[in-house]
Amino acid sequence: MRSNLIAGEWVNGTAVPNINPSDTSDVIGEFASGTAQDATDAIAAARAAFDTWQFSAPLERHAILSKTAAELMARRDELGELLAREEGKTRAEATAEVGRAAQIFDFFAGEALRLTGEVGASTRPGVEVAVTREPVGVVGLITPWNFPIAIPAWKIAPALAHGNTVVFKPASLVPASAHALVDILHRAGAPAGTVNLVMGPGRSVGQSLIEGDLDAISFTGSTGTGALIAAESAKRMRRCQLEMGGKNPMVVLDDADLDMAVRVCLDGAYFSTGQRCTASSRLIVTEGIHDRFVAALGEAIAGLNVGHALHEGTQIGPVVDQGQLDSNLAYVAQGEAEGAMRQIGGEVLNRDTAGFFQRPALFTGCTNDMTIAREEIFGPVAAVIRVRDYDEALHVANDTPFGLTSGICTRNLKHASDFRRKSQAGMVTVNLPTAGVDFHTPFGGRKGSSFGPREQGAYAREFYSSIKTAYINAG
């Protein structure tokens, strides 16, 4: 059994099997499911470690993060295979995700050496003002299953770079990637208690964390759990950072390059089996290109190879588990019941192995008030909404409770820059998929998608550090 890491010791728990969604007969291994008490113990360990770690030398932090980056990069094929086995994204997608995790650790290894402040003059003569950043303390990190190594990386790396200690609870569906990452950090020299891993259910381990003695909590997952964490954090006057769902629009205008628009939408809507918070699941298409676009996208979907994540040539892996597949199928049925036309896909596919395979679905004739255009499905399902012109497209794009990403395909610079300004999303793309963002730039959204400071890049410091203003009378 692979164990939890608390105070530098591997601690056993109830053994839970980890099942491959491409082949349910493949058990990846058994992982320790911890308890609410384990979460409390981990917080205590992180608090004890914080006494020393907060004053650790930048070079020590740099060395640990950089060693972690190097091992992730060196083992990206092996860890990519593990990730693909447990989450179901294709080998290529999974290997790229491990590479990205390595780049994130590398970036934050550098950040550990770039921790600077400001010195200024006071309004009072002879007084100097210094503004510095200090660690926040013990940070709880709760992550979802869809990016099992990249999301933990973009929370753990900045937390450590800025001198915080961590209690990390991964999603129950993907313990293997989380365990591998923490094992690397442990061997890279992270002192006992600086990084603690507690695998186990959200309702016990997760709940214990959010009710525990944490100084900050960073969460990525569903809006429902995010709201719970926000409420608990408000009660405790504790800072929190939430990255939640999306219902991201991709606008396709009459003047778009058709082939490019199809590629952008195919990738944005369906790659990683549509299980990305940045997926473009609303395709808002102006009437002059609508029919050609739908025909070309339908053809491209028909040609997609859906199958076992590790098989050669697979472009779309399985849905993550039976529960998610059932949910996707219910949305497909609801789309039809509400009058949308199922152009292609949505059905379960049988393959050589027992997995959760579903053909990507494209709905046309959708209106923006239909359930499939409003709720995040988190599966390979996209809704095409036909609009008159750019102005209507912009209005529909912004008419959503979410605001994570948005995109536009056009050759018209005026519309591209107007959309960039007026889109109510945290991230905007032009002639590029809404998913697949850089690792060194700020990540986050608006409205119901995000709460708190941005993640990733140098902006991560806004969450993982606290500002101190000092007044010094040198006279």
**201: three-class secondary structure by DSSP:** coil
Nearest distance, CB of residue 116 and ligand NDP, angstroms: 28
* Residue span binding ligand NDP (CB under 6 A) among the ranges 41-49, 143-151, 306-314, 429-437: 143-151
Q: To the nearest whole angstrom, how small is the minimum distance from the Cβ of residue 173 to ligand NDP?
A: 6
Binding of residue 146 to ligand NDP (CB under 6 A): yes
Kindly state whether residue 39 participates in binding ligand NDP, applying the rule CB under 6 A. Answer: no
Asked if 105 interacts with ligand NDP (CB under 6 A), we say: no
Residue 4 contacts ligand NDP per CB under 6 A: no
Q: How far is the CB of 54 from ligand NDP (least distance, A)?
A: 26
Catalytic one of 277, 366, 376, 409: 277
State yes or no: residue 221 binds ligand NDP (CB under 6 A).
yes
Find out whether 350 and 357 touch, Cβ atoms under 8 Å: yes
225 is an interface residue for ligand NDP by CB under 6 A: yes
Please list the residues that pair with 18 across neighbouring strands: 29
Secondary structure element (H or E) that encloses residue 104, with its range: helix 91-113
Judged by CB under 6 A, how many residues of this single chain contact ligand NDP? 28
Confirm if 197 and 171 have CB atoms less than 8 A apart. Answer: no
Binder to ligand NDP among 8, 29, 202, 442 (CB under 6 A)? 202
Per CB under 6 A, the list member of 114, 124, 187, 203 interacting with ligand NDP is: 203
Q: Distance between CA 220 and CA 324 in Å, rounded?
A: 17
Determine how many CB atoms are found less than 10 A away from the CB of residue 146. Answer: 26
Q: What's the chain's length in residues?
A: 475
Residue of 278, 379, 277 whose CA lies nearest to 323: 379
Can you tell me which of 228, 349, 354, 430 binds ligand NDP, judged by CB under 6 A?
228
3-class secondary structure, 226: helix
Which residues, 6+ apart, have CB-to-CB distance to 465 below 8 Å?
Answer: 115, 133, 134, 135, 136, 162, 163
Beta carbon of residue 207, minimum distance to ligand NDP (angstroms, whole number): 5
Gap between the terminal Cα atoms of the chain = 63
Q: Does 220 bind ligand NDP (CB under 6 A)?
A: yes
Residue 388 in the binding site for ligand NDP (CB under 6 A): no
Question: Is 99 or 140 the residue whose CB approaches ligand NDP more closely?
Answer: 140
* DSSP SS3 for 32: strand
| Site membership for ligand NDP, residue 16 (CB under 6 A) | no
**8 A C-beta contact, residue 366 and residue 384:** yes
Q: Which among 4-12, 118-126, 216-224, 233-241 is the span making contact with ligand NDP, rule CB under 6 A? A: 216-224
Binder of ligand NDP out of 56, 222, 327, 398 (CB under 6 A): 222
Residues ≥6 apart with Cβ < 8 Å to 429: 405, 406, 407, 408
Contact pick of 210, 230, 373, 397 for ligand NDP (by CB under 6 A) = 210
Count other C-beta atoms under 10 Å from residue 417's C-beta: 12
Copy the structure tokens of residue 83: 């990730």
Closer Cβ to ligand NDP, 278 or 410, answer by number: 278
- 143 in contact with ligand NDP (CB under 6 A): yes
| Residue type, position 266, single letter | L
Q: What is the contact mask toward ligand NDP in residues 422 to 441, using x (rule: CB under 6 A)?
A: --------------------
* Residue (256 or 397) nearer to ligand NDP, CB: 397
Report CA Rg, the chain.
23
Region from 12-20, 21-29, 138-146, 178-186 binding ligand NDP, contact rule CB under 6 A? 138-146
Binding track over 234-253 against ligand NDP, x by CB under 6 A? ---------xxxx-------
Bridge partners (DSSP) of residue 134 are: 466
Would you state the structure tokens that stand for residue 104, as one six-digit string?
Answer: 């994130």
Using CB under 6 A, pick the residue from 376, 393, 400, 435 that binds ligand NDP: 376
| 243 is a catalytic site residue | yes
Residue 292 sits at the vertex; the CA angle it makes with 290 and 298, to the nearest 5 degrees, is 95
- List Cβ neighbours of 244 (8 Å cut-off, separation of 6 or more): 220, 221, 222, 223, 226, 277, 448, 449, 450, 451
**Could you give the CA distance from residue 313 to residue 91 in angstroms, rounded to a whole number?**
10
Q: Which of residues 392-421 bind ligand NDP (CB under 6 A)?
A: 404
Q: Report if residue 204 touches ligand NDP, rule: CB under 6 A.
A: no
Q: Distance of CA 297 to CAs 4, 357, 380, 408, Å?
A: 45, 20, 14, 16
Q: Which of 201, 288, 298, 453 binds ligand NDP (CB under 6 A)?
A: 201
Minimum CB separation of residue 34 from ligand NDP in Å reads 11
366 is catalytic: no
Residue 127 half-sphere exposure, CB side, CA atoms within 13 Å?
9
Catalytic residue among 86, 243, 376, 455: 243
Q: Which residues bind ligand NDP (CB under 6 A)?
A: 142-146, 169, 171-172, 201-203, 206-207, 210, 220-222, 225, 228, 243-246, 277, 376, 378, 404, 449
Catalytic residues: 243, 277
